[in-house]
Amino acid sequence: MMPYYVAPEQMMQDKAEYAKKGIAKGRSSIAMEYADGVLLIADNPNTSLYKISEVYDRIAFCGAGKYSEFESLRKAGIRHADLKGYMYSREDVSGRSLARAYSENLGGVFSQDIKPLEVELLVVEVGRVPTPNEMYRITFDGSIVADRGVAAIGGRADAIVRFFEEKERNTQASLAEAIALCREAFASANAQDVAVEALEVAVLERERSGRTFRRISNGALTGMDV
Amino acid sequence: MVRDVQPSVPTGTTILALKYQDGIVMGGDRRATEGSQIASERIEKVYAADAHSVIAIAGTVGPCLELVKLFQTELEHYEKLEGEELSCEGKANKLAQMVREQFPLVFQGLVVVPIFSGYDIRRRQGRIFQYDITGGRYEETDFYAVGSGGKDARNTMKEHYQRGLSETDAINLVLAALFNAAEEDSGTGGPDPVRGIYPTMKLVREEGIVDVGEGQLAPMCQALIDVKKDRGYAL
């Protein structure tokens, strides 16, 4: 039982501040449309603990904030997608539906539980020609934003978005150009260089059939001149 | 009741797997029967389970197809959750559990007997596993065939198999085995150039699964038929 009365506004504000503080401590990730699909890139020096993940044929996930929390959300998302694809058909699994499910979940936790989830999520779906790509950003309180061109989450997300605002939007960049640009954005937001080995990179490739998700290893990155 | 249901259930027929120099060839005929009736002449019995393994099915078609779909989903689900593929051994064991779960249905006449072939990345070799209705899992060293024409196919392979076959020789042997099975067993369909029906075949290799298309199989089947004709052997 709660011993004191706390105004709901105050409670929500406290929770939001708590969540923001948790997320601000972490590193950032970017999703960016490029010529052949969508690039996902995380400032992640840990090579075995991934932040980016395949979810379904044309859908990928990226989490920022508290690892344990976005990891369980990642798994729930994969379960959601696989179950839907198995029950109905692979075509019926959509990024939009997954983003809505995440929004509902995060929103519910934020308003009902004592501790909000300290995470930000990206759900990205690469379109089939001529359908455009979809990029959804879901924040700790369940707010959902559909971004175009570039989306950023994590501690330095604002600085990254500012970096891209100053650049001309180019969704037709090559993969190497897009990676180099994102690396520059991380460097500008962190105010220090980011080594290629500290990048986690994956793409959803539009022209592939079936599972379009592909990780790009550090070895392949060094060969790409980014 | 069981007797009433059984003849009206489509059943799958001859499937086989054979090791060759780069991995495994897996093939199956295209016929499904309902008792003495032919239910389908174009059914597929060989499926890619994931990027490095193939499952072929014999038994009652409905539960077999369901098993394949669930197995594919399970492998993909595991791979996405864990960030890496299940080991070849792990996949074979998972399939054994799934076959065992089907066991109670055997008493209603619904049998599911798959063959599983996978490329074991760690051991750098192809591996073949056969199953019994209770979920028993047995690894085969060179080749295996199952289904109502399985014995005839096995006998053909036993006669002509040797280790380290080339891809072409391996495919030819699989075709010959399926051909002989179709001749002896009413439940197995042979190649049918008139209607353009050929066995389905997949190669399990280190780089992944390769589909051997109709374009490649049609002339090979024709050559096989021609050889028999040249020998003056009635088809």
- What percentage of chain B exceeds 70 in pLDDT? 94
pLDDT band with cut points at 50, 70 and 90 for residue B4: low
- Asked if residue A15 belongs to a domain, the reply is no
For residue A204, what are the domain limits?
A: 26-224
| Token pair listed for A184 | 């520059």
| Token pair listed for B134 | 């209770």
B16 pLDDT above the threshold of 60: yes
Q: Which of A72, A82, A84 to substitute to test the interface with B, most B CBs within 10 Å?
A: A82
A64: CATH: 3.60.20.10
Q: Clarify whether B73 is annotated catalytic.
A: no
- Asked if residue A213 belongs to a domain, the reply is yes
Q: Could you say which of 3.40.1000.10, 3.60.20.10, 3.30.230.10, 3.40.50.300 is the CATH number of the domain covering B11-227?
A: 3.60.20.10
A2 pLDDT above the threshold of 70: no
Q: Do B73 and A86 touch (CB under 8 A)?
A: yes
Question: Are the C-beta atoms of residues A53 and A74 closer than 8 Å to each other?
Answer: yes
Q: Do A86 and B76 touch (CB under 8 A)?
A: no
Distance from CA of A54 to the nearest CA of B (A): 6
Average pLDDT, chain B: 93
Q: Do B69 and A86 touch (CB under 8 A)?
A: yes
* Domains contained in chain A, number: 1
Would an 8 Å CB–CB cutoff place B223 in contact with chain A? no
> With a threshold of 0.95, does the pTM exceed it?
no
pLDDT (mean) for B151-167: 96
Q: Which of A73, A211, A214, A215 to substitute to test the interface with B, most B CBs within 10 Å?
A: A211
Query: Which residues of chain B have a CB within 8 Å of the CB of A86?
Result: 69-70, 73
Domain boundaries defined on chain B? 11-227
B7 pLDDT above the threshold of 60: no
How far apart CA B32 and CA A8 sit, in angstroms, is: 66
Would an 8 Å CB–CB cutoff place B73 in contact with chain A? yes
Distance from CA of A55 to the nearest CA of B (A): 7
B6 pLDDT above the threshold of 70: no
Distance from CA of A200 to the nearest CA of B (A): 14
Tens digits of residue pLDDT in B165-195: 999 999 999 999 999 999 999 999 999 999 9
Query: Which residues of chain A have a CB within 8 Å of the CB of B73?
Result: 82, 85-86
How far apart CA A66 and CA A87 sit, in angstroms, is: 32
Q: Which of B8-12, B39-43, B177-181, B200-204 has the weakest average pLDDT?
A: B8-12
A73 pLDDT above the threshold of 90: yes
* Residue A41 bridge partners (DSSP): A30, A201
Backbone angles phi, psi at A48, to 5 degrees: -105, -20
Question: Are the C-beta atoms of residues A105 and A74 closer than 8 Å to each other?
Answer: no
- Asked if residue A211 belongs to a domain, the reply is yes
Task: Give SS3 for B28.
Answer: strand
Closest partner residue to A50 (CB to CB) among B73, B77, B83 is B83
Q: Do B81 and A86 touch (CB under 8 A)?
A: no
B202 pLDDT above the threshold of 70: yes
Contacts of A11 (CB under 8 A, 6+ apart): none
The H helix count followed by the E strand count for chain B is: 6, 12
- Asked if residue A20 belongs to a domain, the reply is no
Q: Do A82 and B83 touch (CB under 8 A)?
A: no
* Residue A120 bridge partners (DSSP): A64
Query: Which residues of chain B have a CB within 8 Å of the CB of A54?
Result: 80
Average pLDDT, chain A: 95
Q: Do B77 and A54 touch (CB under 8 A)?
A: no
CA distances in angstroms from A32 to A55, B89, B183, listed in the order given = 17, 39, 59
Among B11, B13, B33, B188, which one carries the catalytic annotation? B13
CA dihedral B91, B92, B97, B99 (to 10 degrees): 120
A194 pLDDT above the threshold of 90: yes
In chain B, residues 76-135 whose CB comes closer than 8 Å to chain A? 76-77, 80-81, 83
- What percentage of chain A exceeds 90 in pLDDT? 88
- Asked if residue A53 belongs to a domain, the reply is yes
Closest partner residue to A54 (CB to CB) among B69, B70, B80 is B80
Question: Are the C-beta atoms of residues A129 and A140 closer than 8 Å to each other?
Answer: no
pLDDT (0 to 100) of residue A42: 97
- Asked if residue A17 belongs to a domain, the reply is no
Q: Do A53 and B80 touch (CB under 8 A)?
A: yes
pLDDT (mean) for A113-131: 95
B5 pLDDT above the threshold of 80: no
- Asked if residue A10 belongs to a domain, the reply is no
* Residue A39 bridge partners (DSSP): A32, A203
Q: Do B80 and A55 touch (CB under 8 A)?
A: yes
B20 pLDDT above the threshold of 90: yes
